[in-house]
Amino acid sequence: MLVRDAMSTVVLTIGPTHTLRQAARLMSARRIGAAVVHDPDTCGLGIITERDILDAVGSGLDPDRETTSAHTTTDVVFAAPAWTLEEAAEAMTHGGFRHLIVLDGDGPVGIVSVRDIIRCWAPARRTVAAAG
């Protein structure tokens, strides 16, 4: 199975000046765990996750004053839609993260998470176990 088959095509793109609270509200409303952060001044893409927001708030930072730019991961590993789920899982395991931005052409077309991969693998594993 390929990344394109598992990825979420709901891609929330926010700017570096969004506050953590704004990012959290937007992510919560869409029931997603990560957002792409696009900084037009650097022409770069980054990612902010629910864990980044949780860590910031948990350490006492004000979510109404802190901006996403201070908590965005900019050293991002990107996936391609044609990657296998095994390749995506390997990249996540190697990098120690749970989300990959999926790029195709000029921009993000999806995000694949550990949960997406497990959702795809779990039914296949049940079928194999039942047949065995």
Mind listing the pLDDT tens digit for each residue in 11-58? 999 999 999 999 999 999 999 999 999 988 876 899 999 999 999 999
| pTM score, whole prediction | 0.85
Looking at residue 78, what is its pLDDT?
95
Instruction: Render 7-68 in DSSP notation, one character per residue.
Output: -B----EE-TTSBHHHHHHHHHHHT-SEEEEEETTTTEEEEEEHHHHHHHHHTT--TTT-BG
Find where tokens 């952060």 sit: 37
pLDDT score of 131 more than 60: no
* 66 vs 83: CA distance, rounded Å: 35
Contacts of 68 (CB under 8 A, 6+ apart): 14, 15, 16, 17, 18, 19, 20, 23, 35, 37, 48
What is the number of other CB atoms lying within 10 angstroms of the CB of residue 10?
10
Given a cut of 90, is residue 68 above it in pLDDT? yes
Q: Bigger pLDDT: 106 or 125? A: 106
Once rounded to an integer, what is the mean pLDDT over residues 110-125? Answer: 88
* Mean pLDDT taken over the chain: 92
| Over residues 99-123, mean pLDDT | 92
